[in-house]
Structure 1
C-alpha cells in the first residue's frame, strides 16, 4: 500500500469511494434521507475538483486501486476520512491516520479534530480521539448527527 497526495484525474474515483462507503457502511446508523443529503447520487465534478485542489487529500493506493483517502485542514481539521467499504478493518485507516499525524506534527499543530459520523466514532476513539459533543448538522434541509472529536498532539 502506498500513501501519497492526490494526483490529477483521481477525483472521480475518490468521489465514488466516498459515495459508496457512505451509502453502504453508514446505513446502519443513518436514515435513507440522511444518507441522500450527506452524499447525493449526482457527481458534481467541478465542485469536487475545486475542493481537492484546495485540500490536496492523501490517498491510500494498492497499485491503481483506491483503498481510502483523508483530508487535513490547515488548523488540524479532518474533514473527509474514508476507507473503501470492502477494505475496512485492514489497517488502511490506521495508516492514513499515522500519515495525518506526521503531517500535523510537521506543521506544528497542537490537535486534530473532526465531526465524526456515529459509525466512525469507534474508529476515531481507537486512534486516541475523545468525544467532545454531539451536534446536528443541516445538510440540504435534513439534520445529520455527528460527534465533535479531538486528539491532542
Structure 2
C-alpha cells in the first residue's frame, strides 16, 4: 500500500469513493435523506477539483486501486477521512491516520480533531480519539448528527 498526496485527475475517483462509502456504510446510522445531503448523487467537478487543490488530501492506493483518502487542515482538523467500503478493516484507515499524525507532529500541532459520523466513532476511538460532544449540522434543510472527537498528537 502506498500513502501519497493526491495527483491531478484523481478528484472524480476520490468523490466516487466518498459517495459510495457513505451510501453503503453509513446507512445503518443515518436516514436516506441524510445520506443524500451528505453525499449527493451528482458529481460537481469544479467544486471537488477546487477543494482538493486547496486541501491537498493524502490517498492510499494499491496498484491502480484507490483504497482511501484523508484531509488535514492547518489547525489539525480532519475534515474528510474515508476508506473504500470494500477495504474497511484491512489497515487502510490505520495507515492513513498514522500519516496524518506524523504530518501533524511535523507541523508542531498538539491536537487533531474531527466531526465523525456515528458509524466512524469506533474507528476513531481505536486510533486514540476521545468523544467530546455530539453536534447537529444543518445541511440543505436536513440535520445530520456528528460527533466531535479529538486526539493529542
Into which bin does the TM-score normalised by the smaller protein fall?
over 0.9
Match of 1:27 in 2: 27
Partner secondary structure for residue 128 of structure 1: coil
Match of 1:113 in 2: 113
Q: Deviations over 1:1-21 (max 9, x none)?
A: 000000000000000000000
Question: Structure 2 CA distance, aligned partners of 1:139 and 1:23?
Answer: 17
Shift of 1:60: 0.1
Shift of 1:40: 0.5
Shift of 1:31: 0.2
Question: Structure 2 CA distance, aligned partners of 1:64 and 1:108?
Answer: 33
Q: Deviations over 1:15-57 (max 9, x none)?
A: 0000000000000000000000001100000000000000000
Match of 1:128 in 2: 128
Query: What are the equivalent positions in structure 2 for 1:68-147 lying under 5 Å apart?
Result: 68-147=68-147
Aligned residues: 153
Query: What are the equivalent positions in structure 2 for 1:5-24 lying under 5 Å apart?
Result: 5-24=5-24
Shift of 1:113: 0.1
Question: Structure 2 CA distance, aligned partners of 1:105 and 1:145?
Answer: 30
Point out 4+ residue stretches in structure 1 off by more than 6 angstroms. Answer: none
Question: Structure 2 CA distance, aligned partners of 1:80 and 1:52?
Answer: 11
Consecutive unaligned residues in structure 1, runs of 5 or more: none
Please give the TM-score of this superposition, normalised by the length of structure 1.
0.99
Partner secondary structure for residue 146 of structure 2: strand
Please give the TM-score of this superposition, normalised by the length of structure 2.
0.99
